[in-house]
Amino acid sequence: MAHSGEFGLINKLTSSLIKSKYVIVGVGDDCAVIKSSGSRYILATVDAQVMGVHFLPGTPPERIGRKAAAVSISDIAAMGGTPKHCLVSLFLPKNISDAYVEDVYRGITRECKTYSVGIVGGNITRAPQFAIDIALLGEASPKNILLRSGAEAGDKVLVTGSLGNAAAGLRLLQAPRAAISGAIRDFLVAKQTSPTPRISESAAIACARKATSMIDISDGLAQDMLHIAEQSKVGVILHEKRFPISRELKVFCKSMRKNPSVFALAGGEDYELLFTVPPERADSLASRIKRKTGTEVTEIGEITKKEKGNWLILNNGRKMRLKPSGWDHLKI
Amino acid sequence: MAHSGEFGLINKLTSSLIKSKYVIVGVGDDCAVIKSSGSRYILATVDAQVMGVHFLPGTPPERIGRKAAAVSISDIAAMGGTPKHCLVSLFLPKNISDAYVEDVYRGITRECKTYSVGIVGGNITRAPQFAIDIALLGEASPKNILLRSGAEAGDKVLVTGSLGNAAAGLRLLQAPRAAISGAIRDFLVAKQTSPTPRISESAAIACARKATSMIDISDGLAQDMLHIAEQSKVGVILHEKRFPISRELKVFCKSMRKNPSVFALAGGEDYELLFTVPPERADSLASRIKRKTGTEVTEIGEITKKEKGNWLILNNGRKMRLKPSGWDHLKI
């Protein structure tokens, strides 16, 4: 694509970008040129947000931008890395205004700035639907990298923060007349539209070198736990009664006659960190994270041998197979 | 997005990928993990191809994939670098078949293999229109990198291959009944649907360390020449009579009563390399490229001081301002 407006818009969007000392060439040439810091490994990830799929048309554009950056930054957090540079690919329908795109881009820029990420390049193309695709580069010391594949039988399963809030927020956006009061609604909707990538928590976990595997919860606890189980070739037991559920989600669920565990298991988009730790180190790591970041960490289960399978122990003591989806029928 | 089909499709697409020794973790975790090769700089670029914008619905899916990879690889060529690793982001409408997506992905994989590029990650999302966004990482020795900003007054302007073929190919795809015979049509359409990134030519240019600036021609000679002029803060004179026009484009233009220069100036998507060289080194560099790669190189103009402006000397001896677009009225 090359229309006369493209380069003008690129100039408007990128004029205030700041280049770090590791960026030799930023936006404006055929490629960005980056100096790598030698002994560290490069992390690379890409994530897209599409209008109508990942966000509703009425979402404030700056929030759309912030979230698009946040979900990629969360992928770097999930590996124990430091996010560094990103490329922003924009898909713009004909009727979109420059002002709207500038607001989205400001959101991306601000979220990136919060985590010291520089925008080093990108692309603009026409498309029927507005979308943002962000490719993010990060770095990590080889010994600090946490994969999905390192969990071992006996490890404890830990999770940061609380689960299910983002999915409840999405329900509220879809049903704006639900009888949920201001503060509760604001909290849950903010968890949906403005997720916080757990970069400091990730750094605390990675630097301690005690965890054996890690993932960020984007698809829901059940699905993402099964990613770790599958890639680590282990089984898992989760305990419903230990799920960290916020006061706000409890109020929401009571009012809506829903089971908070369903939101935790299948909701997705919480962007909390799910990780495994040898049992004798679990408590000290959880305390360390709380001390360093203020974020609560909860032990919600344990890793078993693969042949034991994947299980959820319900509040009533019954066992259910842990499956990626289909939790809607779980009784309150 | 997380539907049950997503992970199955990802497995199908990525099961045969090969990992280079610099890739510690490829597809399947939150990020790819790459070992950088120390003293070289990292190049990073992203480019999108959208159904209906960059390719027509009837285009064979494997060609769509090849071209999506080729245009990003061409951006690395434009800097004098070596392409290394890519992340493939797919936007899939509901009605698209797995078989179609697999064909596209096979095209991406094959094009990448041709240039020793490994696919290290990606993303799949629902979207109303099919699109591919490829983020590509490459490497270059710091001294070999060629920016758009290094041209100096007195330099000669050189270009690889011939210009305007891809745009003529697009016209033929849009007007399939045009009275252009088989071989000519096939040549021009192939230039449109199957561009060749000039990686070996780029290596020959970069290693010689004689060129002062470079860009790949994606938007047309006029627009891309002006990118170099603007970023190098220089003026330029191009000579229409020296434009390298293929025999096939000449036949096409004669039959269609068009001026081949319009296709060269404004057509775009040729992905040839446009570069500048100090005058005393231009001939030897052109010969070297021809000797090493078999590709013709043509001197089409010279760089001047900025205050002289940007000009095109027409075949009839008249001067016209070189402008980014609006060449359609240029007489045959």
Out of A7-16, B1-10, B219-228, which region has the weakest mean confidence (pLDDT)?
B1-10
Give the CATH number of domain A7-144; options: 3.30.1330.10, 3.40.50.1820, 3.30.70.3460, 3.40.50.10490.
3.30.1330.10
Q: CA of A5, closest CA in chain B: separation in Å?
A: 12
Which two structure tokens, joined as six digits, stand for A145?
């990298």
d(CA A313, CA A239): 5
Residue owning tokens 């027509």: B56
Tell me if B47 and A123 make a contact (CB, 8 A cut-off): yes
Q: How confident is the model at residue B1 (pLDDT cuts 50, 70, 90)?
A: very low
Tell me if A31 and B47 make a contact (CB, 8 A cut-off): no
Name the percent of chain A lying above pLDDT 90.
80
| Structural contact between residues A293 and A206, judged by C-beta atoms closer than 8 angstroms | no
Which of B19, B46, B74 is the best residue to mutate to test the A interface, defined by the most A CB atoms within 10 Å of its own CB? B46
CA dihedral of residues B70, B72, B73, B75 (deg, nearest 10): 130
> What is the pLDDT averaged over residues A130-135?
97
Which two structure tokens, joined as six digits, stand for B282?
């231009």
Residue A3 has pLDDT above 70, yes or no: no
Q: Among partner residues A38, A89, A127, which is closest to B53 by beta-carbon distance?
A: A127
Tell me if B85 and A219 make a contact (CB, 8 A cut-off): no
N- to C-terminal Cα separation, chain B: 53
Closest-CA residue of B relative to A29 is B148
Task: Tell me how far apart the 2 most distant CA atoms of chain A are, in Å.
Answer: 66
Out of A14-28, B50-64, B129-143, B300-314, which region has the weakest mean confidence (pLDDT)?
A14-28
| B311 annotated ligand-binding residue | no
Which of A14, A20, A46 is the best residue to mutate to test the B interface, defined by the most B CB atoms within 10 Å of its own CB? A46
Which two structure tokens, joined as six digits, stand for B174?
């849009």
d(CA A19, CA B265): 33
| B327 annotated ligand-binding residue | yes
Which two structure tokens, joined as six digits, stand for B14?
């990525």
> What is the pLDDT averaged over residues A282-289?
97
Q: Collect all residues of chain B within an 8 Å Cβ-Cβ radius of residue A30.
A: 45, 75-76, 78-79, 148, 215-216
Which of B19, B27, B29 is the best residue to mutate to test the A interface, defined by the most A CB atoms within 10 Å of its own CB? B29
Name the percent of chain A lying above pLDDT 70.
98
Q: How confident is the model at residue A307 (pLDDT cuts 50, 70, 90)?
A: very high
Decide if the complex's ipTM is over 0.85: yes
pLDDT at A20: 80
Q: What does pLDDT average to over chain B?
A: 92
pLDDT at A95: 92
Q: CA of A243, closest CA in chain B: separation in Å?
A: 22
Contacts of B117 (CB under 8 A, 6+ apart): B69, B73, B83, B84, B85, B86, B111, B136
Residue A44 has pLDDT above 90, yes or no: yes
Q: CA of A193, closest CA in chain B: separation in Å?
A: 15
pLDDT at B3: 39
Tell me if A123 and B137 make a contact (CB, 8 A cut-off): no
Q: Which residue type, as a one-letter code, is found at position A70?
A: A
Tell me: the pLDDT tens digits for B226-256?
Answer: 999 999 999 999 999 999 999 999 999 999 9
pLDDT at B181: 82
Name the percent of chain B lying above pLDDT 70.
98
Contacts of A289 (CB under 8 A, 6+ apart): A160, A201, A204, A205, A295, A297
Q: CA of B277, closest CA in chain A: separation in Å?
A: 18
- Is residue A269 less than 8 Å (CB to CB) from chain B? no
Closest-CA residue of A relative to B215 is A30
Tell me: the pLDDT tens digits for A242-261?
Answer: 999 999 999 999 999 999 99
Q: Collect all residues of chain A within an 8 Å Cβ-Cβ radius of residue B40.
A: 36
> What is the pLDDT averaged over residues A20-43?
85
d(CA A240, CA A207): 29
Tell me if A30 and B79 make a contact (CB, 8 A cut-off): yes
> What is the pLDDT averaged over residues A274-292?
97
d(CA B165, CA B269): 9
Which residues pair with residue A132 across a beta bridge? A49, A90
| B45 annotated ligand-binding residue | yes
Q: What is the 3-state secondary structure (H, E, C) of chain A?
A: CCCHHHHHHHHHHHCCCCCCCCEEECCCCCCEEEECCCCCEEEEEEEEEEECCCECCCCCHHHHHHHHHHHHHHHHHCCCCEEEEEEEEEEECCCCCHHHHHHHHHHHHHHHHHCCCEEEEEEEEECCCCEEEEEEEEEECHHHCCCCCCCCCCCEEEEECCCCHHHHHHHHHHCCCCCCCHHHHHHHHHHHHCCCCCHHHHHHHHHHCCCCEEEECCCCHHHHHHHHHHHHCEEEEEEHHHCCCCHHHHHHHHHHCCCHHHHHHHCCCCCCEEEEECHHHHHHHHHHHHHHHCCCEEEEEEEEEHHHCEEEECCCCCEEECCCCCCCCCCC
| Greater pLDDT, A204 or B176 | A204
Which two structure tokens, joined as six digits, stand for B104?
């596209």
pLDDT at B332: 56
Q: Collect all residues of chain B within an 8 Å Cβ-Cβ radius of residue A123.
A: 46-48, 133
| Structural contact between residues B312 and B304, judged by C-beta atoms closer than 8 angstroms | no
| Structural contact between residues A232 and A152, judged by C-beta atoms closer than 8 angstroms | yes
- Is residue A230 less than 8 Å (CB to CB) from chain B? no
Residues composing chain B: 332
Q: Which residue type, as a one-letter code, is found at position A248?
A: E
> What is the pLDDT averaged over residues B148-172?
96
pLDDT at B5: 67
From the number of C-beta atoms within 10 Å of its C-beta (0-12, 13-18, 19+), residue B9 rates as: middle
| Greater pLDDT, A284 or A17 | A284
pLDDT at A154: 98
Q: Among partner residues B46, B120, B219, which is closest to A123 by beta-carbon distance?
A: B46
Which residues pair with residue A49 across a beta bridge? A132
Which two structure tokens, joined as six digits, stand for B202?
């780029």
CA dihedral of residues A210, A112, A196, A209 (deg, nearest 10): 0
CA dist B183 to A113, B13, B187, B253, B272, Å? 54, 34, 6, 15, 22
d(CA B168, CA B187): 10
Residue B4 has pLDDT above 50, yes or no: no
Which residues pair with residue A121 across a beta bridge? A87
Which of A11, A30, A33 is the best residue to mutate to test the B interface, defined by the most B CB atoms within 10 Å of its own CB? A30
- The bridge status of strand A319-321 relative to strand B23-25 is unpaired
N- to C-terminal Cα separation, chain A: 53
Tell me if A87 and B126 make a contact (CB, 8 A cut-off): no
Q: What does pLDDT average to over chain A?
A: 92
Q: Which fold has domain A156-321?
A: Phosphoribosyl-aminoimidazole Synthetase; Chain A, domain 2 (3.90.650)
Residue A38 has pLDDT above 70, yes or no: yes
For Cα atoms B231, B232, B237, give the angle at the middle one, nearest 5 degrees.
Answer: 110
d(CA A48, CA A132): 6
Domain ranges of chain B: 4-144, 156-321
pLDDT at A331: 63
| A105 annotated ligand-binding residue | yes
A 11-50 → B contacts, CB under 8 A: 24-25, 28-36, 38, 40-48, 50
SS3 label, residue B112 = helix
Gyration radius (Cα) of chain A, Å = 21
| Structural contact between residues B223 and B267, judged by C-beta atoms closer than 8 angstroms | no
Q: How confident is the model at residue A330 (pLDDT cuts 50, 70, 90)?
A: confident
Q: Report the top-level CATH class of B4-144.
A: alpha beta
Q: How confident is the model at residue B277 (pLDDT cuts 50, 70, 90)?
A: very high
| Greater pLDDT, B9 or B160 | B160
Tell me if B87 and A30 make a contact (CB, 8 A cut-off): no
Q: Among partner residues B54, B91, B138, which is closest to A31 by beta-carbon distance?
A: B138
Q: Which residue type, as a one-letter code, is found at position B43?
A: L
Which two structure tokens, joined as six digits, stand for B297?
């190189």
d(CA A49, CA A51): 7
Tell me if B147 and A29 make a contact (CB, 8 A cut-off): yes
CA A235 to chain CA centroid, nearest Å: 24
Q: Collect all residues of chain A within an 8 Å Cβ-Cβ radius of residue B265.
A: none
Contacts of A24 (CB under 8 A, 6+ apart): A33, A34, A35, B41, B142, B145
Which two structure tokens, joined as six digits, stand for B92?
């899939």
A 60-99 → B contacts, CB under 8 A: 75-76, 78-79, 81, 85, 87, 89, 91
Residue A8 has pLDDT above 90, yes or no: no
d(CA B323, CA B301): 15
pLDDT at B302: 98
d(CA B50, CA B25): 29
Q: Collect all residues of chain B within an 8 Å Cβ-Cβ radius of residue A137.
A: 42, 44, 137
Tell me: the pLDDT tens digits for A77-112?
Answer: 999 999 999 999 999 999 999 999 999 999 999 999
SS3 label, residue B278 = coil
pLDDT at B19: 78
Tell me if B147 and A25 make a contact (CB, 8 A cut-off): yes
Q: How confident is the model at residue B175 (pLDDT cuts 50, 70, 90)?
A: confident
| Structural contact between residues A42 and B42, judged by C-beta atoms closer than 8 angstroms | yes
Q: Among partner residues B30, B45, B220, which is closest to A45 by beta-carbon distance?
A: B30
